[in-house]
Amino acid sequence: MRPTAAEEARTLVAEGRVAMLATLTADGGPWASLIVYATLPDGTPVLSVSELAEHGRNLQRDPRASLAIAATGGDGDPLATGRVTLAGAVEVAGDDEIGDAYHGFADFTRYVLRIERIRWVGGYARMDSPSVADYRAAEPDPVAPAAAGAVRHLNADHADALLDMARALGGHPEAAAARCERADRYGLDLAVTGPDGRAWARVDFAAPVSAPDGLRAATVELARRARAT
Amino acid sequence: MRPTAAEEARTLVAEGRVAMLATLTADGGPWASLIVYATLPDGTPVLSVSELAEHGRNLQRDPRASLAIAATGGDGDPLATGRVTLAGAVEVAGDDEIGDAYHGFADFTRYVLRIERIRWVGGYARMDSPSVADYRAAEPDPVAPAAAGAVRHLNADHADALLDMARALGGHPEAAAARCERADRYGLDLAVTGPDGRAWARVDFAAPVSAPDGLRAATVELARRARAT
């Protein structure tokens, strides 16, 4: 069991703070720039846009916009990193909709991006285009804020438990080593080294985790189950 | 003395490996996505583009493209981070031009971006639009690969020397503390805390540094000069 594309996209947007914005110049060409954003509870991004910046003038002229958000903290192959593109059109945000999602600066306009299309890429082989309805309905992964720390801890201090998991639960009984590459609410992705080289394994938690502090207990249960198998 | 906007832009492009690409969809809308790139000696980016990806199909239809590249490693305010936008049009790269700048993947096309316009933003108050000729002629800062490590080292082990610099050479004789925020070939940017609150100070090296391993000697000379003043 894995997060759906809609959940992956919602999680990337919820976890991010900086995005790249694509807008249209006066002659209809593309313009890429950096922007900070906040996220409303339904996954709608709120952009804080300087009217003095080129992208601010672009949006006043043509509201079409696209945001690209990449997972942070990856220090490996950037093309193996999760990222998502949202495309649609911006509208000036009303206070009733965004509340205090952004305490604006002077000379900044707050826009909401009305999403029309979504493309998620999880790495080389995982990609999908979730519907906007599915995206809005999906819950961001509650363990995402704790996942990077948990992965580091597992690799630093629990290599034996990871190897047990790969052998007993991950379908690699002859594994010689296992490294955790990613944790989400449903389980762990392991990179396994064995007699046939490197492979990926997925091990699922007994039940989906619903809060960041549930990740530890779910991982301990996985390790016990692997040892007992 | 500071790096020019052209030098700052060249340095950001030379140091980066991942960029956000803005292209045009079939209906002329903007599309933001992540891409990896290499840089030719004159600062021309070489993009490795999957023809299966939406941005690959976009570029086959309309070669107009824009790249946004942000400084890496900043863990503070993202709007205080240096970033640059390059805009122009792509052409399929010839082997004679790019040599081995990219060993391509299968299904990937290598494009060069012919830059027509450049926008550099160094943070809240520093920004400029260097000409393409100046950009091409500028040298990427040779100390950039070593700068982040040098800044960490100065702050961890040489707070006294930084304070001496701020007081004697940075125009803040009443400074109580100083932190290095940035190093470039021409000198250091210091964040100074004093009786009037926080301020910025710039201290210049005796001469521009021409290689990464020259940063240490230049900084030691600065510290000696500050102590002797």
Cβ atoms B26, B40 nearer than 8 A: no
Test A78 with B18 for CB contact under 8 angstroms: yes
Whether residue B78 and residue A18 make contact (CB cut-off 8 A), yes or no, is: yes
Residues of B in contact with A18 (CB under 8 A): 70, 78
Q: Which amino acid, A130?
A: P
**Structural contact between residues A71 and A121, judged by C-beta atoms closer than 8 angstroms:** no
For the segment B170-180, what is each residue's pLDDT rounded down to a tens digit?
A: 999 999 999 99
Kindly report the number of other CB atoms within 10 A of residue A57's CB atom. 16
Question: Chain B residues with CB inside 8 Å of A30's CB?
Answer: 22-24, 30-31, 64-66, 87
> What local confidence, expressed as pLDDT, does residue B105 receive?
61
Q: Give me the half-sphere count of Cα atoms (radius 13 Å) on the Cβ side of residue A24.
A: 19
User: Which among A23, A64, A68 has the least Cβ separation from residue B33?
Assistant: A68
Of B28, B30, B70, the CB nearest to A22: B30
Chain A positions in Cβ-Cβ contact with residue B21 (cut-off 8 Å): 32
Q: Tell me whether residues A30 and B17 touch, CB distance under 8 A.
A: no
- Å from A84 to nearest chain B CA? 8
- pLDDT value at residue B103: 61
Tell me the nearest-neighbour CA distance from B191 into chain A, angstroms.
23
pLDDT value at residue A73 = 59
Could you tell me the CA-to-CA distances from B98 to A79, B9, B41, B64 in Å, in that order? Answer: 21, 21, 10, 20
- Taking all residues of chain A, what is their mean pLDDT, rounded to a whole number? 91
Nearest CB partner across the interface for B30, out of A65, A83, A119: A65
Nearest-CA distance from A30 to chain B in Å?
A: 5
Phi, psi angle pair for A25, to nearest 5°: -75, 175
Cα–chain-centroid distance for residue A44? Answer: 15
pLDDT band at B126 (very low <50, low <70, confident <90, very high): confident
Interface membership of A83 toward B (CB under 8 Å)? yes
Residues B181 and B198: their CA atoms lie apart, in Å, by: 13
Cβ of A133 under 8 Å from any chain B Cβ?
no
Helix or strand run (H / E) with residue B155 = helix B144-157
Put simply, the answer to whether B29 touches A70 (Cβ < 8 Å) is no
Helix B5-15, helix B144-157: angle, nearest 10? 90
Query: What are the distances in angstroms from CA A84 to CA A71, A120, B110, B123?
Result: 9, 4, 23, 26
Q: Give the Cβ contact number of residue A208 at 10 Å.
A: 17
CA angle B36, B123, B14 (to 5 degrees): 30
Q: For residue B199, give Cα distances in angstroms to A170, B78, B127, B140, B195.
A: 56, 19, 19, 28, 10
pLDDT digits (tens, 9 = 90+) for A77-121: 666 788 999 999 999 988 788 876 666 566 788 999 999 999 999
Residue B227 pLDDT more than 60? yes
Phi, psi of A174, deg, nearest 5: -100, 15
Please judge whether A29 and B64 are an interchain contact, meaning their C-beta atoms are less than 8 angstroms apart: yes
| Beta carbons of A33 and B68 less than 8 Å apart | yes
Q: What single-letter amino acid sits at A100? A: D
Alpha-carbon span A209 to A140, nearest angstrom: 12
pLDDT (tens digit, 0 to 9) for every residue of chain A, 229 residues total?
889 999 999 999 999 989 999 999 999 999 999 998 999 999 999 998 988 889 999 999 999 999 999 987 555 666 678 899 999 999 998 878 887 666 656 678 899 999 999 999 987 678 999 999 999 999 999 999 999 899 999 999 999 999 999 999 999 999 999 999 999 999 999 999 998 899 999 999 999 999 988 999 999 999 999 999 8
ipTM: 0.90
